[in-house]
Chains A and B, each alone.
Chain A
């Protein structure tokens, strides 16, 4: 092929088209990556999936004082009480089970050490607290009648979080959390569902956008390829015509150019698809999958039911005569009380539980 190309005077491009393509895709613009996720318990998983831990040149283990100079592989982990220790110290101190922290004497377990994410350990603790708070206080602005109420709610939550972080009135704050949690258990549950839904929507959206982008890039590449071929063909045509032709050279070229012009404009008209409309993004309006109805456990009080009868102390009941007369209490051994049997019978009767449903 190449030899014949030479014979016809075609310029053979070094490297060919395929390598050009790969080099282009290799140096293509940075592709936005998908939504990131977190590895809980320290360490940030960045969008590419790698975990990044905090790392500094002048790290030193506060327990054994070894540093990066002595031990190039030094890795410091953070305890549940937010003190740093190197891995070998952790092995040494906690292999035999729970032991006190060498710095603050709090009892620690080996399993509870996590990699460090933030440079500031205060933030590390704060984030841990916030993780807990985020699970429990996740109400949306839609749950409130107006913005003011929502803002007040946000502030309350922030106050609670702040107290926990700075260890102010922990007992009282915990009590408050419990109270608030009890109040809004159903809503919290619902919002967890909603958040998950929003996240999944976002992921889908991203996936779709990525696919679209790839599609477009493919289209464009194909189009460019076609154009190049066209151009090449056009050039060959002119040369051939000039070779064979008899007329004026300028006229032949002008004619060929006119034909090409027409073809290009025709293609341009046909190939311009609708300009991409920026998709709504942001708030999920509706998810493509209809999620299950969120399960909300019964929240009203069981004891709120009021019986519509009063139990008498004694009934005429020959069948339970034996039980009542049993002086040794053998028949009441398992805590059997005849009163309960009566109560049950009367409740069934009053509430009409044994009436069969209407046909």
Chain B
């Protein structure tokens, strides 16, 4: 269907559109027009991706500026899904273009996805490697500039990758044709033509209109510099599924070092030393050349950097890049001695048997006192190592992995010496263990540091997800000012999901996963009876989430002793998620099988686990999801504590506020797994009395919260069962009412809505509209029993 938003003609690839999709597009357009950032929350399964793509592509095609779209998603399947969606959209656009010229224009629109070498490699040996790191290293051995040069001068002297070589005969920008290429398309193409998919995509990057890749390519400074450097300033950046974006930011600037890594780094250093001695005898001019280049400054070295550069420097300020490498690490042997000293120093730190927390500044001071290493050379450590590796044309770089880690550690410490970072040494893995296994954490406490370059560089950044409530938390944590900040309700012709909060068991004992009561037999029994009762009444699949693996283990053991599991087995099979990925995927496969053949199954899993993040339980795979307890983080973690303290100091976000926010976004993520589209239906059971508190409920996404009625907010198990049965009886009736016009719009409805909005704006002015919004916001939060409960009965 085609319609206009303001003056922009939008092509939407389906005949019907959801009202929230239309609103979403309107707000998105507002953001793009203002060249600002926005935070948008839209329920899962209401076609977020397609609305995003269809609006932005329309925008790109209509305006002559041709802003590039950078779409970041979390996992490879999600990237593939988005690409497929884009392909469908473009096919529709080509089909419905009016003139031949327009058709041509649509055909020239190019979109690509990028993922790691491991997922794309075609080389018969390299692609067999299991670890991504090894694939990267072996690929570099075969494709680095030095190896290629040698191979071309003297064919057969060095092994080269035929697929990569095939690429060189093509003009830049023609490695792949125009149009949309999904990852599997590129791989297919590569197989047929004998081209390397990875490098084909990499070389096409400057010429495409849409790039879809993972968060890390933009946020992780170690990668971003390399992959995303040439993207222009006016690009539109979209972070989809961005509810965990702050954690991604923090991870990308944090490094952990362990004892074995240091040992391995020390070995690598001595190997580097030997290599230098060797090359001094055979080919001293190489080192001389490098030396001369370094004297001139980094700029030239930077220009020479090719795609084979194995690791990039963390965001160095621009003025630093222009500076030359400090004199005392200019010579190769000096640098090796420098690295050796630094590694030895870190080893001495690892010997301490008590927890140490210090600021980077004090770390640097101590380092200087003991080993006389100054800050400046430390800052250039990663850069210098990269240059040395290139000069020595080392192969099998995966063996130098630990050393690279140490070098980036050095660079990060020296670069971010100011606030927002902390070094924590934890000598023991757990409180009770006696054998030291020290880990040196360099942790970033401030997520805004990693994402700051993105906000500064790109004019429009869109942060969107199904569960991103409370919306104002994200701008606060990431330090940006959004133009639009909006959450959309789900329009439904009938309630297709039922959220319930169970606060006490049938025996009226309050249930909670609070630490003090979590192993109380009464609570465990009540949790168990919820599981039994729901296994009796819910068809097909049930997913149950626990706050942690530890708690799940203890509670399942207790259920076994109480005979609860035996009772559940009568109705459904039980599968358990474990920290092991393979085990979990087998469990999932069998769970799906049991759901499909009608036996029915229960999957016990963990919030923040693999299942809670990426896997959908649509339709019969998940008819009910039960949250046992509030999924708080492990609060004894020192890193978390440091982060909380930082948030409190710097941004005035209270500990309890942040922990509650984090727990609720994970809970929402978990229960959101069950509903993937408007034809789907399911139960959402929150089993903990703390969910009934108003501060917790307010943190749930609006589309869930609006359906929590006062009656459903404070239930005992048997009351919840009555409601659930009632709900299932109504939902199982085939829906007779026509959804069109209410939750599904045709073109006429869209036009009508636009008219209406315009009329509203003119007639009542902005004031009236604002009033309406306020009215809408007060969803189901009044009434005495609920209020009194929230305020009085529940402990603070």
Contacts and interface: CB of A to CB of B under 8 A. Distances in A.
B424 interface: yes
B787 A253 contact: yes
The binding surface of chain B is classed by DSSP as helix
Which of B327, B651, B792 gathers most chain A CB within 10 Å?
B327
B652 interface: yes
Given A37-B369, A117-B370, A235-B792, A126 B357 contact: no
Given A50-B352, A120-B340, A235-B792, 15 more contacts: A32-B362, A32-B422, A33-B358, A36-B366, A46-B366, A52-B348, A117-B348, A123-B340, A148-B295, A155-B328, A155-B334, A162-B337, A253-B788, A253-B791, A282-B417
B359 A30 contact: no
B357 A33 contact: yes
Given A30-B355, A52-B348, A202 B365 contact: yes
A213 B646 CA distance: 10
Nearest to B636: A27
A50 B648 CA distance: 31
Contacts of A199: 365
A184 B640 CA distance: 50
A29 B638 contact: yes
B613 interface: no
A281 B418 contact: yes
A281 B359 CA distance: 11
Given A148-B324, A257-B791, A33 B341 contact: no
Contacts of B328: 154-155, 157-158
Nearest to A134: B372
Contact of B362 (A36, A155, A157): A36
9 contacts: A29-B638, A29-B642, A30-B424, A36-B358, A52-B348, A127-B371, A134-B372, A154-B328, A206-B361
B662 interface: no
B347 interface: yes
B270 to A, nearest CB: 10
A47 B327 contact: no
A290 interface: no
B762 interface: no
A77 to B, nearest CB: 16
B15 interface: no
A82 interface: no
A47 B366 contact: yes
Interface string B760-796: 0000000000000000000000011001100110011
B589 interface: no
B599 interface: no
Contacts of A36: 358, 362, 365-366, 369
A275 B651 contact: yes
Contacts of A228: 796
A272 interface: yes
A236 to B, nearest CB: 10
B747 interface: no
B555 to A, nearest CB: 24
A94 interface: no
B476 to A, nearest CB: 11
Nearest to A155: B327
A151 interface: yes
Contact of B650 (A35, A148, A275): A275
A54 B788 contact: no
A38 interface: yes
Contact of B351 (A29, A54, A133): A54
A278 B651 CA distance: 11
Contacts of B422: 30, 32
Contacts of A118: 344-345, 347-348
Contacts of B349: 46
Contacts of B326: 151, 154
B352 A46 contact: yes
B344 A154 contact: no
A213 to B, nearest CB: 7
A81 interface: no
A272 B652 contact: yes
A250 interface: yes
B352 A257 contact: no
B638 A55 contact: no
Contact of B784 (A46, A148, A250): A250
Interface string A117-136: 11110010011001101100
A152 interface: yes
Contact of A47 (B330, B358, B371): B358
A341 B649 CA distance: 78
Which of A35, A126, A158, A253 gathers most chain B CB within 10 Å?
A158
A150 interface: yes
A310 interface: no
A202 B328 CA distance: 25
Interface in A265-285: 272, 275-276, 278-279, 281-282
Nearest to A157: B328
A44 interface: yes
A52 B352 contact: yes
A153 interface: yes
B557 interface: no
A276 B650 contact: yes
A31 B357 contact: yes
B277 to A, nearest CB: 12
A55 B348 CA distance: 10
A28 interface: yes
Given A120-B344, A154-B326, A276 B361 contact: no
B351 A238 contact: no
A29 B348 contact: no
Contacts of A278: 418-420, 650
Which of A35, A38, A50 gathers most chain B CB within 10 Å?
A35
A194 interface: no
A29 B327 contact: no
B658 to A, nearest CB: 13
Given A29-B644, A275-B652, A238 B369 contact: no
B586 interface: no
A244 to B, nearest CB: 17
B331 interface: yes
A88 interface: no
B355 A131 contact: no
B443 to A, nearest CB: 11
Interface in A148-172: 148, 150-159, 162, 165
A158 B341 contact: no
A48 B349 CA distance: 12
A216 interface: yes
Q: Which 5 A-B pairs have the closest CB atoms?
A: A154-B327, A30-B357, A29-B641, A151-B327, A155-B327
B537 to A, nearest CB: 34
B357 A123 contact: no
Contacts of B372: 127, 130-131, 133-134
Nearest to B637: A29
A151 to B, nearest CB: 4
B341 A235 contact: no
B351 A55 contact: yes
A202 B359 CA distance: 12
B446 to A, nearest CB: 10
Contacts of A151: 295, 324-327, 330
